[in-house]
Amino acid sequence: MTTADNKTLDINQIKALLPHRYPMLLVDRVLTWEANKTITAIKNVTANEEFFNGHFPHKPVMPGVLMIEAMAQTAALLSFLSTNVKPDENSVVYFVGIDNTRFKRPVGPGDQLKMDVEILRTSRGIWKYKAVGSVDGQVAVEADLMCTIRNTVEA
């Protein structure tokens, strides 16, 4: 687990916290985080991403649902770091809701999607976040995300 002194995470530390793996692991690095408050992470978007083969071959665009997923994975990291819990193979983070979503600019090969996620509140095991994804300082996507962490053995 990351110590309180180290506010960055590399890909191996991210993989220790998230169950996602290629091609669904969409967070490459955590730049900074503050427990119970905020996290900033990046997704390096490369031309060899599998989804670009079909979305769209003539004008590659990262699907909006994957931008939302990348921000949700960033939010999940913040939740695990804030609670100082290292999930096991039975832990899953589920979406409860996605509100106020807006797509402001396309994201394509060569872009670096910077994701800023803030915890708005937690109540009865539901976490609500404000998430913003930007490229070169321009907002690409924003959404309010609601998630919960569940143990699949109990579900």
For 57-60, the CB contacts below 8 A with 24+ separation are 59/108, 60/108, 60/109
Beta strands in the chain (DSSP E): 29-34, 38-44, 91-103, 112-123, 126-135, 138-151
* Catalytic member of 7, 15, 55, 150: 55
Residue 125 token pair: 């095991």
User: Is 55 annotated in the active site?
Assistant: yes
How big is the CA angle at 106 (ends 104 and 109), to the nearest 5 degrees?
150
31, 116, 142 from 42: Cα distances, Å? 7, 9, 15
Query: How many Å separate Cα 102 from the centre of its chain?
Result: 16
Q: Which residues are catalytic?
A: 55
